[in-house]
Amino acid sequence: MDISELSVRKPVTVTMLYILVCVIAAVFIPRLGIALYPSVSPPYVNVITSYSNVGPEEIDKTVTKPILNSLRRIADVKAITSRSSSGRSQVQLEFGYNKDMEEAVNDITAVLARITNALPDGCGAPTIMRFSMSAMPIMRMAVMGDLSLDELRVISEETVQPLLERIAGVASAEINGGVNREIRVDVNNNRLEAYGLTLQTITGALAARNIQTSNGTLTHGTTDYEIITDEYFKSLDDIRNTIISSSAGTVGIRLDDVAEVYESTDNTGRRVYINGEPGIYISITNESGTNPSTISKGVHAILPEIEDNLPKGVSITVLSDDTSLIDSTMDEVYSSGIQGAVLAMLIIFLFLRNFRSAIIIGMSIPISIVITLMVMSLMDLTINMMTMSGLILGMGMTVDSSIVILENINKRRGWGEKSAVAAIFGSRNMVMAIIASTATTVCVFVPMLLYRADLEMYGMMFQELILTVVVSLIVSLIVSVTLVPALAGSIIKIYTRTQKPLHFKPFVIVDTVFAKFIKGLENGYATALRFCLKNRLIVLVLVFALLIPSIQHLSSTGMNLAPSSQADDQVNINISLPVGTTSGLVQRYLFDFQEIIVREIPRDAYNTIVINSGGSNSGSVQINLPKLKNQKISAREIQATLTPFTTQWSDVRITFSSGRGPGGMGGGGVNIKVISDDTAAMTQVSNEIVALIKANVPQALNPASALDSGSPRYEVRIDTDTASAAGVNVNTISGLLKTAITGSTATTYHIGGDDVSIIVSLAESDLAAPADLGAITIQTANGLMALDNFISYQEGISPQQIQREEGVRVNRVTASLAPGAIATELQARVEQLINENIVLPDTVKIEYQGDARDIQRFGGAFLVVILLAVFLVFCVMAAQFESLVDPFIIFASIPLLAIGVMAVYQLTGQTMSLYSLVGIVALVGIVVNNGIVLVDFTNQLVERKTPVIEACIEAGRNRLQPILMTTLTTVLGMVPIAFFPGEGAETMQPICLTIVGGLLSGAFMTLFVSPILYSLLNKRREKRFNDPESLMNQLEEVDEIKAKNIKVELTQKDT
């Protein structure tokens, strides 16, 4: 007794089991996290070391190189890069995606522990940082109001931040913007020199004056009194009146005599403006494994409480919410899935003309999905674009097994068999075929799991899609051989026109029309197939005439690394000026560009404009848009509108960066690595490449060199002999210069619970030119002397950063792809231009990387995956058919899918990508399913000694309906995403488009080519019909002997 018969015999038990599983699933499904994409953290580890007030060259030599040389000994490192910039060293190690990152971090920690003491004095300890997707903010908020920025920051830190961080799942609420209070002491150098004082005298006097200390305990009578000295500054006047120098018989010199003391704010930090108004920017990150949508709801729920705790005139608003993009995108995917399911049920109803059959299929789909979601929860997967696409992909194939079983049951009911009998034998006849077809589909995904590390980020991303498809296929197989027979056998009995003829005349007419249509379709197909079998050579030549150009076109067509998407709710604009530009000028350009946005973009097209301005030569403008369904102008349209304004300032570089929408994960289109130890030559070649791309390749957007021209600087040279003779060391001179220019914190001013730094520096008016530094006085063994006696200056350029890869000095020239550009074609154009127009110096080499090279690299891995998938499919089919010939008949449909794939891409104008290759891998397993059903039934007829040609025609006629039904349900299930993806679902369009085209051509070719090949390769089987030595006849004899023995045993038992 097989499982299908057991299910028919115990329908209530089977039904209750499924109800129980669905109830259990209802407990697990709410625990599923929701995200836009799977959480995949690249296997990168950064080692960051700070070395304040040190230039890039010295950091590269004394910090970066020792660390880099030590880390090279770590096992399994794929690549190692370094960046040395002012005050900072960064070394990045890249590992394989199959590397245990905890082990990698432990190895790095052990290496760093051995070299930390060898780093220069004053250099900080190296810090290890790992990139994590969960560390990216999911929400951004702003605190604004009538108060000053420092007051808004205090409110944000003391009121808003604690309330946000107490929400379950919130890892941190990071505060940016605002200013820190500080007390500035601007010293007049002329007065300082007149009084014979130095800056060190002032900092020392302030530190000595501002103290609070315990002096011990004094016992008076029976009481112990603590004796303390409390001379903390209580007001700015206390600071101004600090005596910084005095001598016997003279009036002490107070700070107010030589300096201006006032309260100010720190202007070197990040400033944030929301719609032109200054405010505080709060970024919320979630804990790993939590549901961002749930956290977003928690944040919105607590906003009224936060508002109640804010002072009057202060408000908090949500600037952007990543979960809104997640919700909008997932809504499109849900909608596509529902449309596909409805279309699949409609196909079942039209072909079988049976409402109950459609209900059974309609029940099997949600039950399979619910169980799949439960298994996903147990596997710790999330609901995201990949898993939902896997569900949609699996849903189209999910109903295939149920359709084959149900169609066979329906056919037997049409013959007059009782419902239970039809359910048992209708299922039994098809169980092996659907097991084989499911196994072949599962097998094609196994190589992708095995090679996921070779496919790097893409392999990790597709892993969840593959797992979802595999789980849904296995679940659907179980449902088709258990629940479907149980329902069709007794609970929802299928009645054909044989059992219950229609009586309502309109229904009779419609039913008759459909019946005649299907019958005519079968007869027409049988006639066409008979013609093809009589003209096999002509048909095969025509097929090859279509196949060869399709394969040629497929192999030569342009390709992108990943599909682009127009769906986004942010537009990010980066604005950078020449190195050394003041932050004030950068801020002016940021506001000028904001005025362009306000003038060119309708106000109802965006929610907010956020300006981020720091202390460097660059800043950014972020345009936050409404939800996808509410957008009047898309992010891409806004970018197109603003692009003409990016070239209006000659010395300003304005570029667009991706927002938060789905799309590619590649290296940004064009990426050219320039290698040289000659900085001047490397800079020249890089600039020539940038100019060449700008002038000749309009589809390459924002070409730029990572090697900045460097920041202007004056190098101070110290005469160490003269300084030593005067009793002054180099460190003292350097510290004095730092105090004069940047300022030094002398002590801390305690006020209102806040600690405010007191910073001493020269007045800005005393530092109008570098020569003014020579007038600063320093205490020496010979008395006060000007720095001019010890220092000289040399003007030059300081490199912004020094970048190395594998220890070699490199620079990168990059450009992004314009909408509609094809990476492989663009790369070929760029390489041709460089080869024809640039003569490389002997000291410079270039390497081409970027999307096109990634496509070549991943394409090789995909080729291995496809070949391995084909081999596994062959093994499954050879085992099922006990033949090495029949699998080759079915395999003929695999290359023929190229005809449909190329046709659908040509018709739609879409560009192929790596996602398309995933669709081709899936097709290898899907497209053979129809052939398995057809060849299996043909073999059954041949085993009954039906002539091969007649068996092919009869099998084709008999299996035409289930093949059309399974093909159309799979195709229509993917049509919404393939042709009408909606906002946010475009990323998965190539997979569905590839499957739709390949499956349609594969099914058509299977119906005609497979019978032709079967008749050619199996014609010899007719000669063995009456051969007693053939395996088939010998096995029949064995079965007859077994039957006779059983009969004898039963007779003996009865007697």
List residues bridging with 318 in a β-sheet: 141
Mean pLDDT computed over 24-31: 86
Question: What pLDDT is recorded for position 718?
Answer: 85
**Res. 681 pLDDT band, cuts 50 70 90:** confident
**Res. 666 pLDDT band, cuts 50 70 90:** very low
Mean pLDDT computed over 489-505: 78
**Given a cut of 90, is residue 24 above it in pLDDT?**
yes
Strand 912-913 to strand 559-560: parallel, antiparallel, or no bridges (unpaired)? parallel
Average pLDDT over the chain reads: 83
* CB atoms closer than 10 angstroms to residue 16: 11
* CB atoms closer than 10 angstroms to residue 174: 13
Q: pLDDT per residue over 233-283, tens digit each?
A: 888 898 899 988 876 455 688 889 899 998 887 655 567 888 888 888 898
CA–CA separation, 377 and 385 (whole Å): 16
CA–CA separation, 900 and 998 (whole Å): 5
Tell me if domain 44-131 and domain 182-265+712-798 are identical in fold.
Answer: no
**Res. 462 pLDDT band, cuts 50 70 90:** confident
Q: Which helix (DSSP H) or strand (DSSP E) does residue 118 occupy?
A: none
629 contacts: CB under 8 Å, gap ≥ 6: 328, 331, 983
SS3 321: strand
List residues bridging with 887 in a β-sheet: none
Mean pLDDT computed over 590-610: 90
Q: What's the token pair of residue 844?
A: 């410079």
Task: Residue 1005: name the closest of 916, 913, 889, 841 by CA.
Answer: 889
CA–CA separation, 163 and 170 (whole Å): 10
CATH superfamily assigned to domain 135-180+268-325: Multidrug efflux transporter AcrB pore domain like (3.30.70.1320)
Q: Angle at the Cα of 425 (from 424 to 427), degrees rounded to 5? A: 70
Q: What's the token pair of residue 981?
A: 């993806």
- With tokens 């009779």, the residue in question is 508
Q: What's the token pair of residue 331?
A: 């809504």
CA–CA separation, 259 and 762 (whole Å): 9
List residues bridging with 224 in a β-sheet: 219
CA–CA separation, 58 and 799 (whole Å): 11
CA–CA separation, 837 and 859 (whole Å): 30
Q: Which helix (DSSP H) or strand (DSSP E) does residue 74 occupy?
A: none
**Given a cut of 50, is residue 590 above it in pLDDT?**
yes
- With tokens 């001047």, the residue in question is 680
Question: What pLDDT is recorded for position 21?
Answer: 92
Task: Residue 818: name the closest of 826, 810, 809 by CA.
Answer: 826
Q: pLDDT per residue over 939-967, tens digit each?
A: 888 888 888 899 899 988 888 888 888 88
CATH superfamily assigned to domain 507-556+883-1026: Multidrug efflux transporter AcrB transmembrane domain (1.20.1640.10)
| Residue 816 contacts residue 693 (beta carbons within 8 Å) | no
Side chain identity at residue 39, one-letter code:
S
Lowest mean pLDDT among 369-383, 552-566, 838-852: 552-566
Side chain identity at residue 91, one-letter code:
V
**Res. 1030 pLDDT band, cuts 50 70 90:** low
Mean pLDDT computed over 135-162: 85
547 contacts: CB under 8 Å, gap ≥ 6: 895, 896, 898, 899
3-state secondary structure 651-678: CCEEEEECCCCCCCCCCCCEEEEEECCC
* CB atoms closer than 10 angstroms to residue 325: 24
CA–CA separation, 500 and 510 (whole Å): 16
Q: pLDDT per residue over 796-816, tens digit each?
A: 666 667 888 887 888 888 888
Phi, psi of 129 (to 5 degrees): -130, 135
Q: Which residue has the higher pLDDT, 427 or 1023?
A: 427
Cα–Cα distances (Å) from 622 to 43, 597, 704, 983, in that order, read 29, 11, 21, 21
732 contacts: CB under 8 Å, gap ≥ 6: 778
- Number of residues assigned to the chain: 1055
**Given a cut of 80, is residue 134 above it in pLDDT?**
no
DSSP line for 169-189: TEEEEEEEES--EEEEEEE-H
Strand 259-265 to strand 271-274: parallel, antiparallel, or no bridges (unpaired)? unpaired
**Given a cut of 70, is residue 59 above it in pLDDT?**
yes
| Residue 671 contacts residue 704 (beta carbons within 8 Å) | no
**Given a cut of 60, is residue 662 above it in pLDDT?**
no
210 contacts: CB under 8 Å, gap ≥ 6: 231, 232, 233, 747, 748, 749, 758
- With tokens 């048909």, the residue in question is 539
Given its phi and psi angles, is residue 699 left (phi above 0), alpha (psi -120 to 50 degrees) or beta? alpha
Question: What pLDDT is recorded for position 1018?
Answer: 83
| Residue 970 contacts residue 1000 (beta carbons within 8 Å) | no
**Given a cut of 50, is residue 663 above it in pLDDT?**
no
**Res. 1027 pLDDT band, cuts 50 70 90:** low
**Res. 709 pLDDT band, cuts 50 70 90:** low
CA–CA separation, 988 and 981 (whole Å): 8
| Residue 826 contacts residue 699 (beta carbons within 8 Å) | yes
Cα–Cα distances (Å) from 884 to 126, 433, 874, 879, 1010, in that order, read 62, 17, 9, 9, 15
| Residue 665 contacts residue 458 (beta carbons within 8 Å) | yes
**Res. 725 pLDDT band, cuts 50 70 90:** confident
CA–CA separation, 424 and 482 (whole Å): 10
CATH superfamily assigned to domain 44-131: Multidrug efflux transporter AcrB pore domain (3.30.70.1430)
Phi, psi of 806 (to 5 degrees): 55, 35
CA–CA separation, 924 and 895 (whole Å): 9
Mean pLDDT computed over 886-895: 83
Euclidean distance between the first and the last CA atom of the chain, given in angstroms as a whole number: 27
Task: Residue 240: name the closest of 224, 251, 256 by CA.
Answer: 256
Query: What percent of the residues of the chain are helix, what percent strand, and what percent coil, each to the nearest 5?
Result: 60, 20, 25
CA–CA separation, 517 and 529 (whole Å): 18
List residues bridging with 813 in a β-sheet: 672, 705
Question: What pLDDT is recorded for position 247?
Answer: 62
* CB atoms closer than 10 angstroms to residue 784: 13
Q: Which helix (DSSP H) or strand (DSSP E) does residue 203 occupy?
A: helix 199-209
Q: Would you tell me which CATH number, out of the four given (3.40.30.10, 1.20.1640.10, 3.90.1150.10, 3.20.20.330), belongs to the domain 1-31+353-469+484-495?
A: 1.20.1640.10
Phi, psi of 32 (to 5 degrees): -65, 130
Question: What pLDDT is recorded for position 665?
Answer: 42
- To the nearest 10°, the Cα dihedral for 961, 967, 970, 974? -130
Q: Which residue has the higher pLDDT, 1025 or 749?
A: 749
Q: Which helix (DSSP H) or strand (DSSP E) does residue 216 occupy?
A: strand 212-220
**Given a cut of 80, is residue 762 above it in pLDDT?**
yes
Lowest mean pLDDT among 254-263, 679-688, 836-845, 981-990: 981-990
What is the Cα Rg of the chain in Å? 38
Cα–Cα distances (Å) from 473 to 333, 344, 364, in that order, read 19, 16, 12
Side chain identity at residue 88, one-letter code:
R
Where in the chain are the domains? 1-31+353-469+484-495, 44-131, 135-180+268-325, 182-265+712-798, 507-556+883-1026
Cα–Cα distances (Å) from 870 to 216, 453, 1024, in that order, read 86, 20, 31
CA–CA separation, 557 and 559 (whole Å): 6
**Res. 593 pLDDT band, cuts 50 70 90:** very high
Q: Give percent of the chain above pLDDT 90.
A: 7
Q: Angle at the Cα of 410 (from 407 to 415), degrees rounded to 5? A: 130
Burial code of 37-65, b = ≥16 C-beta within 10 A, e = fewer? bbebbbbbbbbebbbeebbbeebbebbbb
Cα–Cα distances (Å) from 463 to 42, 387, 400, 613, in that order, read 14, 9, 23, 40
Q: Which CATH architecture has domain 182-265+712-798?
A: 2-Layer Sandwich (3.30)
DSSP symbol at 838:
-
